[in-house]
Structure 1
Amino acid sequence: MTDRPIARTAPIAPAAGSTIQPAIQPAIQPAVDPFGRAITYLRVSVTDRCDFRCVYCMSEDMAFLPKAEILSLEEIDRVCSAFIDLGVRKLRLTGGEPLVRKNVMSLIRSLGRHLSAGTLDELTLTTNGSQLVRHAEDLAAAGVRRINVSLDTLDPNKFRAITGWGRLDGVLDGLAAAKRAGLSVKINCVALKGVNDDEFHRLVEWCGGEGFDLVFIEVMPMGEIGADARLDQYLPLSMVRASLAERWTLEESDYRTGGPARYAVCRETGGRVGFITPMTHNFCESCNRVRLTCTGTLYLCLGQEDAADLRAPLRRSDEDADLVAAIREAVSRKPKGHDFVIDRRRRGPAVPRHMSVTGG
Structure 2
Amino acid sequence: MDAPLIDPFARAIEYLRISVTDRCDFRCVYCMSENMTFLPKKDLLSLEELDRMCSAFIRLGVKKLRVTGGEPLVRRDIMTFFNAMGRHLDSGALDELTVTTNASQLARFAKDLYAAGVRRINVSLDTLNEQKFADITRWGRLPQVLKGIDAAQDAGLRVKINTVALKGFNEDELFTLTEWCASRDMDLTFIEVMPMGDIGNEDRFGQYWSLKDVRARLEESYSVSDLSERTGGPARYVQLSETGQKIGFITPLSHNFCESCNRVRVTCTGDIYTCLGQEGHSDLRGPLRSSESDAILEEAIRAAIALKPRGHDFDYSRQRVDGQVSRHMSHTGG
Q: Distance in 1 between matches of 2:63 and 2:95?
A: 5
Work out which of the two has the higher radius of gyration on C-alpha atoms and give 1 or 2. Answer: 1
Contact 1:231 1:344 in 2 (8 A): no
In structure 2, which of residues 292, 303, 312 is the aligned counterpart of residue 329 of structure 1?
Answer: 303
- The equivalent residue for 2:96 is 122
Q: Distance in 1 between matches of 2:221 and 2:294?
A: 55
Q: How does 1:29-178 map to 2 (within 5 A)?
A: 29-178=3-152
Task: Please state how far the C-alpha of 1:348 moved relative to its aligned partner.
Answer: 7.7
Rate the CA distance shift 1:228–1:156 in 2: closer, same or farther, 3 A: closer
Question: What does the per-residue CA deviation read over 1:105-143, in whole Å, with 9 as the maximum and x for residues that have no partner?
Answer: 010000010000000000000000000000000000000
Contact 2:29 2:199 in 1 (8 A): yes
Q: How does 1:1-360 map to 2 (within 5 A)?
A: 28-226=2-200, 229-342=203-316, 346=320, 350-360=324-334
Contact 1:224 1:348 in 2 (8 A): no
Task: Please state how far the C-alpha of 1:226 moved relative to its aligned partner.
Answer: 3.5
User: How many aligned residue pairs are there?
Assistant: 334
Contact 1:228 1:347 in 2 (8 A): no
Rate the CA distance shift 1:347–1:147 in 2: closer, same or farther, 3 A: closer
Structure 2 counterpart SS, 1:125: strand
Task: Please state how far the C-alpha of 1:341 moved relative to its aligned partner.
Answer: 1.9
Contact 1:222 1:349 in 2 (8 A): no
Q: 2:14 is matched by which residue type in structure 1?
A: T
Question: What does the per-residue CA deviation read over 1:243-273, in whole Å, with 9 as the maximum and x for residues that have no partner?
Answer: 1111111121122211011111111111111
Q: Distance in 2 between matches of 1:356 and 1:340?
A: 18
Contact 1:231 1:343 in 2 (8 A): no
Q: Distance in 1 between matches of 2:147 and 2:37?
A: 30
Structure 2 counterpart SS, 1:245: helix
- The equivalent residue for 1:23 is none
Q: Distance in 2 between matches of 1:348 and 1:47?
A: 28
Q: Distance in 2 between matches of 1:96 and 1:357?
A: 7
Contact 2:316 2:322 in 1 (8 A): no
Task: Please state how far the C-alpha of 1:329 moved relative to its aligned partner.
Answer: 0.3
- Tell which deviates more after alignment, 42-51 or 254-263: 254-263
Structure 2 counterpart SS, 1:83: helix
Q: 1:86 is matched by which residue type in structure 2?
A: L
Structure 2: stretches of 5+ with no match in the other structure = none
State the 4+ residue runs in structure 1 displaced beyond 2 angstroms: 342-349
Contact 1:137 1:181 in 2 (8 A): yes
Question: What does the per-residue CA deviation read over 1:2-58, in whole Å, with 9 as the maximum and x for residues that have no partner?
Answer: xxxxxxxxxxxxxxxxxxxxxxxxx81111100011110000000000000001101
Question: What does the per-residue CA deviation read over 1:159-192, in whole Å, with 9 as the maximum and x for residues that have no partner?
Answer: 0001011011111111010111110011000000
Q: Distance in 2 between matches of 1:120 and 1:253?
A: 26
Structure 2 counterpart SS, 1:116: helix
Rate the CA distance shift 1:208–1:168 in 2: closer, same or farther, 3 A: same
- Tell which deviates more after alignment, 156-165 or 335-344: 335-344
Question: What does the per-residue CA deviation read over 1:288-342, in whole Å, with 9 as the maximum and x for residues that have no partner?
Answer: 0000000000001000011110000111111001000000000000000000123
Q: Distance in 2 between matches of 1:349 and 1:192?
A: 19
Output the TM-score relative to the length of structure 1: 0.91
Contact 1:227 1:347 in 2 (8 A): no
Q: Distance in 1 between matches of 2:243 and 2:154?
A: 21
- Tell which deviates more after alignment, 183-192 or 335-344: 335-344
Contact 1:223 1:349 in 2 (8 A): no
Rate the CA distance shift 1:44–1:202 in 2: closer, same or farther, 3 A: same
Q: Distance in 1 between matches of 2:105 and 2:322?
A: 33
Task: Please state how far the C-alpha of 1:282 moved relative to its aligned partner.
Answer: 0.9
Q: 1:271 is matched by which residue type in structure 2?
A: Q
